[in-house]
Amino acid sequence: MSLVLQHVSKTYNPRSAHPVRAVRDLDLDVPDGDIIALLGSSGCGKTSTLRMVAGFEDVSEGTITLAGKRIDRLAPARRGVAMAFEGYALYPPLNVEENIGFGLAREGGLRRGTDTRKRVHEVADLLEIGPILDRRPAGLSGGQQQRASLARALARDADLHLLDEPMGQLEPQLRAVLRGRVKALIKARGLTAVLVTHDQTEANAMADRIAVMEGGVLQQYGPPGELRDRPVNLFVATFLGEPPMNALPATVQPGGLRLEDGEGVHLDVPPSALPPVGSKVVFGVRPHRITLGQGRLHATVTSNQWLGDQAHVAMELGDRLIVAVAHQRVAAAVGSRLDFDFREADAHVFDAESGRALLHGNQPA
Ligand SMILES: Nc1ncnc2c1ncn2[C@@H]1O[C@H](COP(=O)(O)OP(=O)(O)OP(=O)(O)O)[C@@H](O)[C@H]1O
Ligand SMILES: [Mg+2]
């Protein structure tokens, strides 16, 4: 079901000398049947947001609506929300099967006519914990506990599924397999889900839209491609992408930009999109968009790594580091000079002071 957060804020210890403003004025609209990812660094307010939606934390300000109904004052059990917790929160005396089944028997846990045992086994098999259904949480590894907690949430027929770092403990191979299966299950059952993750690959792979948060503030909310190609600010631009976007100081000149790279390369940019001549800006280009071997810019190679399927080449340009990614090996020794270039269409320009995006390729931001 669709979820709408309006002006939601969370302040912990509001009357103390050190209130913590964990979430600030958050607006978020999750359409029915979508998976959205909350992505951001540690402490940015992801778990606080989920806990307010689930009802384990009061909202300090704002409203939360699920399927058109205000839920922010309802008790957690009455919200129709299933949550997989960051700390798993399994019931110690129950075995894995009972943990997953817990809540299914209760009203609202399963649609009428659904076979509880069958549902538990289906979800357990999907997450590869079928063989440990008779074990208690104390006898499980961290990754097994985490999957039991995820299974318990996914087994339920809730209006909304909240998944807080549901696969953070798993090794990359298993994680990659499970994220495909979990997404397929969510889509097949038509569930609406909010997934919290640190892992941008997971967010890109699973989410219809990604919400990037920083310091309790939503920075941008949109489909993965939009965040990649049209980041609203320098934070989003450099937070997403592996390796991150290169950022170089530049100055607006008549008809374009001058990169402060020691050589002063001029870039043609439509002047209408730029602040007045002389303004300081930041020029950005993604590592995958740099072509090596020839071009207008020249830098000194500081490392050249072949990762099995791609080369990461780091270069010093003035006092800045630039990273380029190539899909073949690059013949460039550390210490050698390397020419490189990029297309104007792949350039991004940001305001140096606010970080706000001014230009993406040839289009104003
Ligand atoms: N119960 C609490 N009392 C006081 N401060 C809290 C409480 N819970 C969280 N915080 C603070 O609120 C901020 C946001 O925390 P939150 O747990 O929402 O972050 P997060 O994005 O989930 O981080 P992580 O990725 O590390 O899980 C942090 O500064 C945290 O220290
Ligand atoms: Mg958290």
Q: Which residues contact 39 (CB under 8 A, 6 or more apart)?
A: 46, 197, 198, 200, 203, 210, 211, 212, 213, 239, 240
Average pLDDT rounded to a whole number, residues 205-212: 98
Task: State the distance from the centre of ligand 1 to the C-alpha of 162, rounded, in angstroms.
Answer: 17
Residue minimizing CA distance to atom 27 of ligand 1: 42
| pLDDT tops 60 at residue 108 | no
Which pLDDT belongs to residue 151?
A: 96
Task: State the distance from the centre of ligand 1 to the C-alpha of 135, rounded, in angstroms.
Answer: 31
Q: Is the CB of 12 under 6 A from ligand 1?
A: yes
Per-residue pLDDT band at 310 (split at 50, 70, 90): very high
Which pLDDT belongs to residue 113?
A: 65
Q: Is the CB of 9 under 6 A from ligand 1?
A: no
Residue 197 and residue 37 in contact, taking contact as beta carbons nearer than 8 Å: yes
Domain ranges of the chain: 3-231, 236-364
Kindly indicate whether the domain formed by 3-231 is annotated with CATH number 3.40.50.300: yes
Cis peptide leading into residue 271 (ω within 30°): no
Q: Is the CB of 212 under 6 A from ligand 1?
A: no
- Testing ligand 1's pocket by substitution, the residue of 9, 47, 88, 197 carrying the most ligand atoms inside 8 A of its CB is 47
| pLDDT tops 80 at residue 230 | yes
| pLDDT tops 90 at residue 184 | yes
What value does the mean pLDDT of the chain take? 93
Per-residue pLDDT band at 103 (split at 50, 70, 90): confident
| pLDDT tens, position by position, 188-202 | 999 999 999 989 999
What is the pTM (predicted TM-score) of this model?
0.92
Q: Is the CB of 45 under 6 A from ligand 1?
A: yes
Backbone angles phi, psi at 29, to 5 degrees: -130, 110
| pLDDT tens, position by position, 15-54 | 999 999 999 999 999 999 999 999 999 999 999 999 999 9
**205 vs 296: which has the higher pLDDT:** 205
Which pLDDT belongs to residue 270?
A: 65
CA 144, CA 162: separation in Å to the nearest integer? Answer: 19
Kindly indicate whether the domain formed by 236-364 is annotated with CATH number 3.40.50.970: no
* Residues 180-183: contacts with CB under 8 Å, at least 24 apart: 180/205, 181/126, 181/127, 182/126, 182/127, 182/150, 182/154, 182/206, 183/35
Q: Which of 35-44, 215-224, 237-246, 254-263 has the lowest mean pLDDT?
A: 254-263
